[in-house]
Amino acid sequence: MLERNLVQSGEALRQILGLVTLQAVYPEIGKPYYIANSSIDTIALLEYPSSDISPEKGSTTLRWWTWSQCIRTLSVLHFEVTILYTSNQPLYQEISAKSSQLYELGLSLSTIAKKLNVDEKTVSKAIRWAKES
């Protein structure tokens, strides 16, 4: 269903996930990242939206059971997801301009690495890449 109708998919995800909050985390070592907090409404997972798209063919046992008996289960599951920074280009390419600039100012590779929160080898590769390009 998700790939067939994007509008319905977005509405379904909004109904299932509810409010999603992002919390920025800035660790002393490493790159900043986000933690997403939300809750899944498990009852919404069992319900099919009223539309011309019918659920997949198969057993009707689950639907019969949910209609005839009370569901005694946890209906909201809380979860937390860590969202890491991703980039299309390698890290050494991202920091190449800044690394080269600091290196030309006379800073050592270890000082630049500490300042940019990366390894000395990454700084060395970034400077080498900047000179070649």
Structural domain that includes position 111? 91-132
Number of domains in the chain: 2
Tell me the C-alpha distance between 79 and 16, whole Å.
12
Question: Could you list the pLDDT tens digit for every one of the 133 residues in the chain?
Answer: 456 677 777 777 777 777 888 888 888 877 788 888 887 776 666 655 555 445 555 555 555 555 555 555 556 677 777 777 666 788 899 899 999 999 999 999 999 999 999 999 999 999 999 999 8
What's the pTM value of the predicted model, to 2 decimals? Answer: 0.39
Instruction: Verify that 52 and 35 share a domain, yes or no.
Output: yes
Instruction: Verify that 55 and 98 share a domain, yes or no.
Output: no
Instruction: Verify that 57 and 21 share a domain, yes or no.
Output: yes
pLDDT attached to residue 29: 74
Instruction: Verify that 55 and 77 share a domain, yes or no.
Output: yes
Which of residues 60, 83, 106 is at a domain's end? 83
Instruction: Verify that 24 and 74 share a domain, yes or no.
Output: yes
Instruction: Verify that 97 and 76 share a domain, yes or no.
Output: no
Measured CA to CA in angstroms, residue 39 lies from 24, 66, 82, 117 at distances of: 18, 22, 15, 34
Instruction: Verify that 53 and 102 share a domain, yes or no.
Output: no
In a domain, 1, yes or no: no
Chain centre to alpha carbon of residue 60: 35
pLDDT attached to residue 88: 75
Instruction: Verify that 95 and 56 share a domain, yes or no.
Output: no
